[in-house]
Amino acid sequence: MGQTITEKIFSEHAGREVKAGEIVRVDIDMVIGNDITTPISIRAFEESGAKELANPDGFAIVMDHYIPAKDIASANQAKISRDFAYKHNLKYFFDEKDMGIEHALLPEKGLVVPGDVIIGADSHTCTHGALGAFSTGMGSTDISFAIITGGNWFKVPESIKVVLKGKPGRHVYGKDIILEVIRILGVDGALYKALEFTGDGLQYLSMDDRFSMCNMAIEAGAKNGIIAVDDITKAYLDERAKINGGLRAEPKIHYSDEDAEYCQVIEIDLDKLSPVVAYPFLPSNGKSMEEAVKDDIEIDQVMIGSCTNGRLEDLRIAAEIVKGKRVSRKTRMIVTPATQRIFMQAEKEGLIDTLIEAGAVVSNPTCGACLGGYMGILGDGEKCVSTTNRNFVGRMGARTSEIYLANSAVAAASAIAGKLTDPREL
């Protein structure tokens, strides 16, 4: 019996052939921390008596959740990571001078590559599977173990094969595909499984689409999301290498065998898929756009950004829709580019001007609004169309607020109309 791409990555790291269900100890290529979770890892590191990191060039700290600091507590929290980074002279420490949301910034910097084993103390670390890597979130103490020893223990996950067929229609994106997958599986239908996206439909999906899909694999309970390297991936990596003067490491490319074993197969006809909106209070509570507009839901706020949908493609989509129009009088529109580079490119293309002229407010790169921290908190009973990845009770503010997850086109169209709106109708 052949192997899946996930099994092959673990086999390469273990130095022997492994199969799903085995417990393996492997070295980790990149550990990712942020300003919220890293201080816990640092405390465990120091309490262990460790003096040096096992692989300092395999540890990146990205300050992205409450940066610039929103209050004294967040400033002191950030200081812990800064002091640690300076003490150990970390090569990959990203603060206000080079801001970005971690799961957008690291691929942009060429720091995660195909074949890597990547962990982060953030559940959406699975984003990096879009580059053909095994990438997953772990707890802060698991992170400390990894930076002390250079490795960690894993159970090799079984894989669910998601076959994408056909070509997506207008204003149907990676966000809609993953929301449809989560609708099918439920929030725990892929528990500790790998979601492997395959099929001829991938040829129509950009890297931005793919990052969005793998990012939300965790919302179906998956251990990781993963997509094999193809020409689109290679073009992205070539561009990253050119901009950054190379990649962090040489890619190690793996493909699933034709006779690989899957625990489940899902097929999605992209040409039949509409934009999907996930209603409160679960990402699995998806409805087609045709169903959603019938509910005539008025919207108080629109949020376009996050590690899921704050990339350049999202800003281009939103700007195209709002160009020459104005955000509805009773609706607020917040746009958060995922990195400073994305922000600057959007400025060069005139996207920022277009968005501001339409009535949007554009913030620095931050996770603030997404996790209900700052820069877009919802009040009692307020409704928000958001391109983020979670819509749990109280996720973005008041427990009585409601979040409707959608792609950037739906979000922008809803901002203009002041209610949940089909962008294909504009």
Q: What CATH number corresponds to the domain at position 384?
A: 3.30.499.10
Query: How do residues 269-326 score in pLDDT, each as one tens digit?
Result: 999 999 999 999 999 999 999 999 999 999 999 999 999 999 999 999 999 999 999 9
- Residue pair 131/29 in contact (Cβ under 8 Å)? The answer is no
Residues 236, 327, single domain; the answer is: no
Residues 225, 141, single domain; the answer is: yes
Residue 279, pLDDT score: 98
* DSSP letters spanning 153-197: EEEPPEEEEEEEES---TT--HHHHHHHHHHHH-TTTTTTEEEEE
Residues 158, 234, single domain; the answer is: yes
Residue 181, pLDDT score: 98
Residue 36, pLDDT score: 93
Residues 325, 345, single domain; the answer is: yes
Residues 232, 373, single domain; the answer is: no
Residues 213, 287, single domain; the answer is: no
Query: Does the pLDDT at position 426 exceed 90?
Result: no
Average pLDDT of the residues in 369-389? 94
Query: How do residues 345-370 score in pLDDT, each as one tens digit?
Result: 999 999 999 999 999 999 999 998 89
Report the number of distinct structural domains present in the chain: 2
Q: What angle do CA 286, 389, 71 make, to 5 degrees?
A: 140
Query: How do residues 128-159 score in pLDDT, each as one tens digit?
Result: 999 999 999 999 999 999 999 999 999 999 99
The domain of 325 spans 276-425
Residues 264, 396, single domain; the answer is: no
Residue 369, pLDDT score: 86
Residue 190, pLDDT score: 95
Predicted confidence band of residue 1 (pLDDT cuts 50, 70, 90): confident
Tell me whether residue 365 is exposed, middle or buried, using C-beta atoms within 10 angstroms of its C-beta: 0 to 12, 13 to 18, 19 or more: buried
Could you tell me whether strands 151-155 and 23-27 are parallel, antiparallel, or unpaired per DSSP bridges?
antiparallel
Query: Does the pLDDT at position 400 exceed 90?
Result: yes
Could you tell me whether strands 151-155 and 402-405 are parallel, antiparallel, or unpaired per DSSP bridges?
unpaired
Residue 275, pLDDT score: 98
Q: Any bridge partners for residue 116, and if so which?
A: none
Whole-prediction pTM: 0.95
> Of 228, 245, 268, which one is at a domain's C-terminal end?
268
CA-based nearest residue to 304, from 296, 295, 316, 294: 316
Query: Does the pLDDT at position 179 exceed 90?
Result: yes
Residues 283, 262, single domain; the answer is: no
Could you tell me whether strands 117-120 and 224-227 are parallel, antiparallel, or unpaired per DSSP bridges?
unpaired
Residue 101, pLDDT score: 96
Residue 241, pLDDT score: 96
